[in-house]
Structure formats: structure tokens, C-alpha cells
């Protein structure tokens, strides 16, 4: 297996790939592969229902929430959220913690009134704004946050409280990496291609009360109520992506669920942050310590000239995807759920060896 540290699409569990390989050719002895199933067949309906049940189980999703499997990526949710939830004459509040939340705000402003109520842009998104800037503040249709900032390597570890409006969260790059309290949110969305499976399906978890805001005159495909009423089968769904999502959730359950995944993620992240913190400034982490992400570890080399040779040597040794996002540069190791501990150990060892040699 390649040492895959891509930010997404990202590594999938080997057990998932092995099972899928067999079922690509012959699913449940039907003489056809899983992607050849009709989305109206009882076999696919079973996949759809099981995937939903597994997600409900793993994330402890209460009955008064709908689980939707949509298309268009998290980026389409930047549009669907305000289209469905922004009330007439009202505004939407956004916390800016990186490029994705900036994009979410920009798209919302095309639909109606939306403003940033807090931002860490002035410090190059090294941290999450303090809750005192946010708590009790917004009087709006909803408050939008991005729980993990894939490009800057920061993550929310404490969440807004005493907000009297629905909390909407983009969890694209940390869903299923730790337990969450679903009832604290009005809506959660996540593109699958980091922790949940391949690209092509986007998970939306929405409170049923909030669903009532979806106006009937919205385009059907962009209407949460329509999607909920049809059990995410309004049109042809991305059947293969949903199937893979099911396999990833089965895998997550088999290894002990989100509590266990969180422990593994803490252990993996600690290895890389240790390599940074013990390097006497040779490596510099981008994020402030209390905002560090367990999913994306961003760092630069103090000596900029060495960055290129670090990335070059890493590539020669088989490490994939370590260059930082094109907008920020430096290095980034994305260590989602499916990245094995041994691969992270090898990366930490390489970082230490490279430092000693240079
Ligand atoms: N939000 C976050 C936090 C992301 O990391 C990404 C992609 O990396 C997106 C949104 C955009 O997702 P998509 O490509 O599925 O539209």
C-alpha cells in the first residue's frame, strides 16, 4: 500500500477495497457487480437503508433528524444551506476559519444576506476565533462553522454555546473522526471523500424541524424536503459511492466506532506534532497549539530552501500527498481515519531522520 497522505480523495481502509473488489464483479451472487444494480432494486434499497442506519448508529443521530445522501459535493451545500435555511428579511452568520468557510460565505451572499461575525483571517487562519466572540451574538437564520479547516490544519475543539439559532457545520474533513453531539446542530454536511469513502456522495444530517424551512418553490434537486421525502432516491443516486460509504461505516463499526477512531487519531496526530515540537524550530507547525487539527498536520521548514528537498526525498521514499495546498504552500500530512498508524510512524521517523541529516 502506498504511504498516502492525500487531503482528499484520500486513503480508504484496505479491508474496504478488498471487499469491494469481489463485489464489483459479483454482488450477492446475482451475477452482476454492485454498480450494475438498479437504484430501484431491493438490493440497492437495502444498501441505502443500511448505510443510513450505520451512520445513525455510529454518530448517535437522534430520530428527529433526517440523513440525506446528496450529490454536488460540500460545495453545493454552500448554496443549498442558504437556499433552504435563510429566512426572508433575515441574515445568515458565518465564522471564517479558512478558505472553505470563505467560499461558503461567498456563495451564501449570492442567495441573500450573510455576514462574517468572527474571523481569524488577520492571523492567517492559525487558530479558531475565541468563543467569547461568538457566543450569544448572532441574531440570524443560522450560524455556520467549518469544524476542521483542511487547508490550514486547524480544528474546533470547543463549540459555540447559548446561541439561539441553528448551528450549521461543514464537517467535510473531520466527520466520523470523533464523537459529536448531533442535537447541538441544526444541520451537518460533509463530502465523503476524506473520512467516509470515495467522492460522489455528500452526507447531510438535518433536524426535522429545520426541514420545514425548505420552500416548495425551490428547485426540487436543491430542496432538502424533497430529498428527505424520497429517502435520497429522488433521482438516480451515486450508487457506487453510497455502497462504498456503507463499507467504510461497516469498517468503522468493526474497529470500535468513533470513540476508538478518536483514540487512534489522537495517537497518530501526536506522533507528527511531537516530531514538530521536538525539532527545536527545524519544523514549524502552522496552527496554534489549542487549535491543532487531528486530521491535517500543516508545517513548514524553518529553512525554506530545505522544503523542496524534504518533499523531494519524501516522494522518493514513497510518501504521497505531502505538499501543502497550492494556496498556502509548505507541507501537509492528512491523516484521516483510514491512514494506518504504521504509515504515520514511518512519516514521523522520516521527519526525524531528515532533521538529523540537515
Ligand atoms: N469543505 C471542506 C472543509 C473541505 O475540505 C472541502 C474540500 O476539500 C470542501 C468543503 C469542498 O468539498 P467538495 O470538493 O466536496 O465540494
Nearest CA to ligand 1 atom 9: 74
Which of 156, 170, 174, 268 is labelled catalytic?
Answer: 170
Ligand 1 atom at minimum distance from 75 CA? 16
Whether 141 and 149 have beta carbons less than 8 Å apart is answered as no
List the domain boundaries for the chain: 14-254, 256-357
Ligand 1 atom at minimum distance from 73 CA? 15
Read off the pLDDT of each residue in 61-88 and give the average, rounded to a whole number.
Answer: 98
- CB count within 10 Å of CB 2 equals 11
Whether 138 and 163 have beta carbons less than 8 Å apart is answered as yes
Whether 153 and 100 have beta carbons less than 8 Å apart is answered as no
Nearest CA to ligand 1 atom 14: 73
Ligand-binding site membership of 236 (annotated): yes
* Ligand 1 mean position, distance from CA 93 (Å): 19
Ligand-binding site membership of 100 (annotated): yes
C-alpha torsion 109→90→147→15, nearest 10: -80
Whether 81 and 94 have beta carbons less than 8 Å apart is answered as no
170 tagged catalytic? yes
Instruction: Report how far residue 298's alpha carbon sits from residue 289's, in angstroms, rounded to the nearest whole number.
Output: 12
C-alpha torsion 17→20→25→28, nearest 10: 150
In the predicted model, is pLDDT for residue 191 greater than 90? yes
Which of 100, 156, 174, 268 is labelled catalytic?
Answer: 100
pLDDT of res. 172:
98
Which residues form the pocket of ligand 1, taking CB atoms under 6 Å from any ligand atom? 8, 73-75, 100, 146, 150, 170, 172-173, 191
Ligand-binding site membership of 1 (annotated): no
194 tagged catalytic? yes
pLDDT tens digits for range 10-45: 999 999 999 999 999 999 999 999 999 999 999 999
Read off the pLDDT of each residue in 59-64 and give the average, rounded to a whole number.
Answer: 98
Please choose from 108, 173, 202 the residue to mutate so as to test ligand 1's pocket, defined by most ligand atoms within 8 A of CB: 173
* Ligand 1 mean position, distance from CA 201 (Å): 12
- DSSP 3-state assignment of 326? coil
Grid cell of 100 as nine digits:
472553505
Parallel, antiparallel or unpaired: strands 148-149 and 154-155: antiparallel
Question: What's the CATH class of domain 256-357?
Answer: alpha beta
Q: Which long-range contacts (CB under 8 A, 24 or more apart) does 325-331 make?
A: 325/7, 325/99, 325/150, 325/151, 327/99, 327/151, 328/151, 328/152, 328/286, 328/298, 329/300, 330/286, 330/298, 330/299, 330/300, 330/301, 331/298, 331/299, 331/300, 331/301, 331/307
pLDDT tens digits for range 103-134: 999 999 999 999 999 999 999 999 999 999 88
CA distance between the termini of the chain: 28
Nearest CA to ligand 1 atom 5: 150
Ligand-binding site membership of 202 (annotated): no
Whether 261 and 295 have beta carbons less than 8 Å apart is answered as no
Ligand 1 atom at minimum distance from 8 CA? 8
- DSSP 3-state assignment of 94? strand
Summarize the chain as % helix, strand, coil (round to 5): 40, 15, 40
* Ligand 1 mean position, distance from CA 41 (Å): 31
* Residue 135 binned pLDDT confidence (cut-offs 50, 70, 90): confident
* Ligand 1 mean position, distance from CA 354 (Å): 32
100 tagged catalytic? yes
Nearest CA to ligand 1 atom 3: 172
In the chain, what percentage of residues exceed pLDDT 90? 94
Instruction: Report how far residue 356's alpha carbon sits from residue 358's, in angstroms, rounded to the nearest whole number.
Output: 6
DSSP class of residue 182? Answer: G
Pick the CATH number of 14-254 from 3.40.50.1580, 3.40.50.2300, 3.40.640.10, 3.40.50.150: 3.40.640.10
Nearest CA to ligand 1 atom 2: 172
C-alpha torsion 316→148→338→356, nearest 10: 40
Ligand-binding site membership of 91 (annotated): no
Q: Average pLDDT, whole number, for the chain?
A: 96
Ligand-binding site membership of 170 (annotated): yes
Is this prediction's pTM over 0.95?
yes
Strands (E), 25-142: 65-70, 92-96, 114-119
pLDDT tens digits for range 46-59: 999 999 999 999 99
Parallel, antiparallel or unpaired: strands 319-320 and 331-334: unpaired
Please choose from 7, 8, 76, 100 the residue to mutate so as to test ligand 1's pocket, defined by most ligand atoms within 8 A of CB: 100
Please choose from 7, 73, 168 the residue to mutate so as to test ligand 1's pocket, defined by most ligand atoms within 8 A of CB: 73
Ligand-binding site membership of 156 (annotated): no
The residue with cell 450529490 is 71
Read off the pLDDT of each residue in 349-355 and give the average, rounded to a whole number.
Answer: 98
Instruction: Report how far residue 131's alpha carbon sits from residue 158's, in angstroms, rounded to the nearest whole number.
Output: 8
Closest CA to 244 of 74, 57, 38, 18: 18
- DSSP 3-state assignment of 52? helix
With a threshold of 0.90, tell me whether the complex ipTM lies above it: yes
Amino acid at each position: 500500500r502506498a504511504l498516502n497522505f492525500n487531503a482528499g480523495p484520500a486513503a480508504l481502509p484496505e479491508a474496504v477495497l478488498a471487499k469491494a473488489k469481489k463485489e464489483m464483479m459479483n454482488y450477492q451472487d446475482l451475477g452482476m457487480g454492485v454498480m450494475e444494480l438498479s437504484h430501484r432494486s431491493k438490493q440497492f434499497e437495502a444498501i441505502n437503508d443500511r448505510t443510513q442506519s450505520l451512520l445513525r448508529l455510529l454518530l448517535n443521530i437522534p430520530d428527529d433528524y433526517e440523513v440525506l445522501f446528496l450529490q454536488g459535493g460540500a460545495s453545493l451545500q454552500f448554496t443549498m444551506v442558504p437556499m433552504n435555511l435563510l429566512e426572508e428579511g433575515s441574515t445568515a452568520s458565518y465564522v471564517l476559519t479558512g478558505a472553505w468557510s470563505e467560499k461558503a460565505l461567498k456563495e451564501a451572499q449570492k442567495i441573500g444576506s450573510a455576514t462574517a461575525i468572527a474571523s481569524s483571517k488577520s492571523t492567517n487562519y492559525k487558530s479558531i476565533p475565541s468563543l467569547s466572540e461568538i457566543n450569544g451574538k448572532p441574531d440570524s437564520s443560522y450560524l455556520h462553522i467549518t469544524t476542521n479547516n483542511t487547508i490550514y490544519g486547524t480544528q474546533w475543539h470547543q463549540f459555540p454555546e447559548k446561541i439561539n439559532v441553528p448551528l450549521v457545520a461543514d464537517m467535510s474533513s473531520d466527520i466520523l473522526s470523533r464523537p459529536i453531539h448531533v442535537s447541538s446542530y441544526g444541520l451537518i454536511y460533509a463530502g465523503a471523500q476524506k473520512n467516509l469513502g470515495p467522492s460522489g456522495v455528500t452526507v447531510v444530517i438535518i433536524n426535522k424541524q429545520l426541514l420545514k424551512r425548505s420552500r416548495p418553490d425551490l428547485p426540487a434537486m436543491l430542496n432538502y424536503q424533497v430529498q428527505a421525502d424520497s429517502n435520497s432516491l429522488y433521482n438516480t443516486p451515486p450508487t457506487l459511492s453510497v455502497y462504498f460509504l456503507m463499507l467504510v461505516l461497516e469498517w468503522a463499526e468493526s474497529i470500535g466506532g468513533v470513540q476508538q477512531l478518536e483514540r487512534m487519531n489522537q495517537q497518530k496526530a501526536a506522533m507528527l506534532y511531537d516530531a514538530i515540537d521536538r525539532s527545536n524550530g527545524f519544523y514549524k507547525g502552522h496552527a496554534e497549539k489549542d487549535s491543532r487539527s487531528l486530521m491535517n498536520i500543516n508545517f513548514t521548514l524553518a529553512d525554506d530552501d530545505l522544503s523542496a528537498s524534504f518533499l523531494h526525498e519524501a516522494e522518493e521514499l514513497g510518501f504521497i500527498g505531502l505538499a501543502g495546498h497550492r494556496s498556502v504552500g509548505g507541507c501537509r500530512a492528512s491523516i484521516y481515519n483510514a491512514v494506518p498508524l504504521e504509515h504515520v510512524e514511518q512519516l514521523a521517523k522520516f521527519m526525524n531522520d531528515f532533521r538529523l541529516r540537515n
